[in-house]
């Protein structure tokens, strides 16, 4: 039986409480209230309610920790030496609001210059993906390891695809064309946190995307790392938490993807 640390227990408790509200709304999508933050960038009342629940639970348990939240205004510098919660109340909002059961709650804990703990909760399937520095990565109580494939030709790679108002579409087509000619398959699911959790769980062999936010990837980064993989910048010199550009997988897959994407 796995014994959870205090921080992991706090994160799981907050995620589970927020999930109750999310699942109620997921069952009544016709009543869902949706706002538009920007072009093709949506926020639902479910996002806001879930974030309020998570913020309350975490701030009550750790009164001196800071917050960096997708729907919040109290964003702080994640490069300082303080403890900071990084939260996405619903990663995959577009999936959620259209009844597609691929979305997650993502909570990470940042300290110093790195992520030290993370939880990604898939409430539809009641799956907790979690990791803590030096402890390992887990799906519920099952230890996770990234796939050991050494070449792309037998690999399934997840990716993000730019959409209306986001990203360089023509450049992405070039990247995708270059990768798709070398892999067994590409998959676009629509929630980067779960994509990274799938890498850690060995369900896909790799993942890449440009222009993400810290809350999309923070928990996933430590999951992949503690599962024996890499989750780093597409350029080795960049920090994905800063640039939003990330590639993940085992060391061989990451290096192969980097070669293609940086060519």
3-state secondary structure the chain: CCCCCHHHHHHHHHHHHHHHHHHHHHCCHHHCCEEEEECCEEEEHHHHHHHHHHHHHHHHHCCCCEEEECCCCCCCCCCCCCCEEEEEEEECHHHHHCCCCCCEEEEEEEECCEEEEEEEEECCCCEEEEEECCCEEEECCEECCCCCCCCHHHCEEEECCCCCCCCCHHHHHHHHHHHHCCCCEEECCCCHHHHHHHHHCCCCCEEEECCCCHHHHHHHHHHHHHCCCEEECCCCCCCHHHHCCEEEECHHHHHHHHHHHCC
Q: Does residue 103 form part of some domain?
A: yes
Q: 255 and 128, same structural domain?
A: no
Q: 181 and 132, same structural domain?
A: no
- Residue-wise pLDDT tens digits, 150-194: 999 999 999 998 877 666 788 889 989 999 999 999 999 999 999
Among the three residues 121, 143, 165, which one is the final residue of a domain in this structure?
A: 143
User: Which residues of the chain fall short of a pLDDT of 70?
Assistant: 1, 29-43, 72-81, 165-167
Q: 130 and 21, same structural domain?
A: yes
Among the three residues 124, 143, 162, which one is the final residue of a domain in this structure?
A: 143
Q: 109 and 156, same structural domain?
A: no
Q: 160 and 131, same structural domain?
A: no
Predicted confidence at residue 245, as pLDDT, reads: 96
Count of domains for the chain:
2
Q: Does residue 168 form part of some domain?
A: yes
Q: 117 and 197, same structural domain?
A: no
Q: Does residue 120 form part of some domain?
A: yes
Among the three residues 95, 114, 143, which one is the final residue of a domain in this structure?
A: 143
> Across all residues in the chain, what is the average pLDDT?
90
Predicted confidence at residue 3, as pLDDT, reads: 84
Q: 157 and 52, same structural domain?
A: no
Residue 213 structural domain: 152-261
Predicted confidence at residue 31, as pLDDT, reads: 64
Q: Does residue 1 form part of some domain?
A: no
- Residue-wise pLDDT tens digits, 122-160: 999 999 999 999 999 999 999 999 999 999 999 999 999
């Amino acid at each position: 039986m796995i014994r959870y640390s205090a921080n992991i227990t706090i994160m799981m408790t907050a995620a589970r409480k927020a999930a109750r509200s999310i699942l109620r709304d997921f069952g009544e999508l016709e009543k869902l209230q949706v706002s538009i933050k920007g072009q093709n960038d949506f926020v639902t009342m479910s996002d806001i309610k879930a974030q309020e629940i998570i913020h309350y639970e975490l701030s009550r348990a750790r009164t001196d920790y800071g917050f960096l939240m997708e729907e919040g205004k109290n964003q702080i510098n994640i490069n300082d030496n303080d403890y900071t919660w990084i939260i996405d109340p619903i990663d995959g909002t577009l999936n959620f609001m259209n009844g597609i059961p691929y979305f997650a709650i993502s909570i990470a804990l940042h300290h110093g210059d790195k992520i030290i703990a993370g939880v990604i909760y898939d409430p539809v399937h009641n799956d907790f993906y979690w990791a803590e520095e030096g402890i390992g990565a887990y799906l519920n109580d099952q230890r996770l390891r990234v796939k050991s494939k050494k070449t792309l030709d037998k690999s399934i790679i997840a990716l993000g695809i730019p959409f209306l108002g986001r990203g360089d579409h023509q450049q992405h087509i070039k990247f995708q064309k270059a990768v798709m000619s070398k892999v067994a398959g590409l998959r676009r699911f629509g929630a980067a946190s779960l994509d990274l959790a799938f890498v850690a769980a060995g369900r896909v062999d790799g993942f890449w995307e440009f222009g993400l936010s810290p809350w999309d990837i923070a928990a996933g980064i430590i999951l992949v790392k503690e599962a024996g993989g890499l989750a780093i910048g597409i350029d080795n010199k960049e920090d994905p938490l800063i640039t939003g550009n990330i590639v993940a997988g085992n060391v061989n897959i990451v290096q192969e993807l980097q070669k293609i994407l940086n060519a």
